[in-house]
Amino acid sequence: MVNNEKGYGEYLFSKYYEKLEGPDSHASSHWSDYSSSFRVDFKEGETLALEGFGFGDMQERSLPNRWLARLCNFSYFIRDPHRKEKKELLRIGKELAVEMDGYFSFDCFRQVYSFDLIMKQLKNLNIGDNPRILIIGDGFGFLSCLIKKVIPGARIILVDLGKTLFFQYYYSGKVFPDAGLLGVSSNGEKLSVRDIEEKDFIFCPADLTDALEELEIDVAVNIHSMQEMTYDSISGYFTLLRKIMAENSFFYCCNREKKELVGGEVIEFDNYPWDKEDKILLDGYCPWCTYFFSTAKTKYGAKVMGIRIPFVNYFDGPIRHRVAILKKN
């Protein structure tokens, strides 16, 4: 394990950018394709430039798309009957996006709304002020930083492909320069509950998740990334969660109902390894993931009298979200 922030950055950069030959064996065809467009300039322990693609639009440079995202956010907000309850959380999210050298995109907006739902479940299940939260696939790290802003006592474990995990490590350290950081760096390591209690952020590459098997966590979250994994990877995560989730803990899963990846794999929400003994607390289509505004024209979009409305796009399929207390293994 690596405790030093710069030391762990060097590890991630060396293993997943400098020395990685060919696609990551844990990556689906989707991420093997998209990760080739990542740009990370890291020299002498300092991150000089970061450009990601395919895991959030917070780095969007196009001014028209930025304004369309703001308009899209407002269109959801104004129709929300509970919008007043979310105003403070949205304010924190907007300030956080700026701290992360980005802007408050539609992707950020959706994560704020998902976190609002997660906080309600924390309260309903009487989970305390120091929850241990595992996030699988946090992109730029916006959600984990948002959680830490709102719940300072939270202990957050981030799991992702090594290339993407670098972004989360960088932005967590940028937003919380005094935070305690810990990174898993080799096979055979095992984290303990004490390791979590002593740190704010724990980073674990997807190929080293065996290190997490002795932990106990209160919440697990996956938003819009299981839909882009192989079934083997999804099954591996479910097996891990069923082993490490505490009693009365819950898993929030928000993903496309069905998605075909660039390599032809078809991933379906209902084919995740759910168990008939899982306790489902919430299940349905995600109301803040139905459409988005963009200068790009996708295959599906809103129409009036059979004519497409400019800039208003639908996702390639409906997006489900579920809160479940998973059956323990």
pLDDT tens across the length of the chain (329 residues):
655 556 898 899 888 888 765 555 565 554 455 556 677 777 767 776 677 666 677 877 889 999 999 999 999 999 999 999 999 999 999 999 999 999 999 999 999 999 999 999 999 999 989 999 999 999 999 999 999 999 999 999 999 999 999 999 999 999 999 999 999 998 777 888 888 888 999 999 999 999 999 999 999 999 999 998 989 999 999 999 999 999 889 999 999 999 988 778 899 999 999 999 999 999 999 999 999 999 998 888 999 998 999 999 999 899 999 999 999 98
Token readout for 266 is 């078809």
Token readout for 22 is 């060919």
Residue 120: give the domain boundaries. 5-325
- The count of domains in the chain is 1
Q: What is the pLDDT of residue 28?
A: 54
Token readout for 268 is 């379906």
Closest CA to 24 of 169, 166, 207, 227: 207
Q: What is the pLDDT of residue 97?
A: 96
Q: What is the pLDDT of residue 136?
A: 97
pTM here is: 0.92
Closest CA to 50 of 155, 180, 166: 166
Q: What is the pLDDT of residue 31?
A: 46
Q: What is the pLDDT of residue 292?
A: 95
Q: What is the pLDDT of residue 329?
A: 85
Q: What is the pLDDT of residue 180?
A: 92
Element (H, E) at 156: strand 155-160
Any alpha helices (H) in 131-255, and if so which ranges? 142-150, 162-175, 193-197, 231-244
CA distance 76 to 71: 9
Buried b (16+ CB within 10 A) or exposed e, 176-191: beeeebbbbbeeeeeb
CATH at residue 93 = 3.40.50.150
Q: What is the pLDDT of residue 170?
A: 92
Q: What is the amino acid identity at position 281?
A: L
Beta-carbon contacts of 183 under 8 Å, excluding residues fewer than 6 positions away, are: 1, 2, 3, 8, 11, 12, 169, 202, 203, 204
At how many degrees (to 10) do helices 83-99 and 142-150 cross? Answer: 120
Q: What is the pLDDT of residue 96?
A: 97
- CA 151 to mean position of chain CA atoms: 17
Q: What is the pLDDT of residue 30?
A: 46
Token readout for 246 is 């505490």
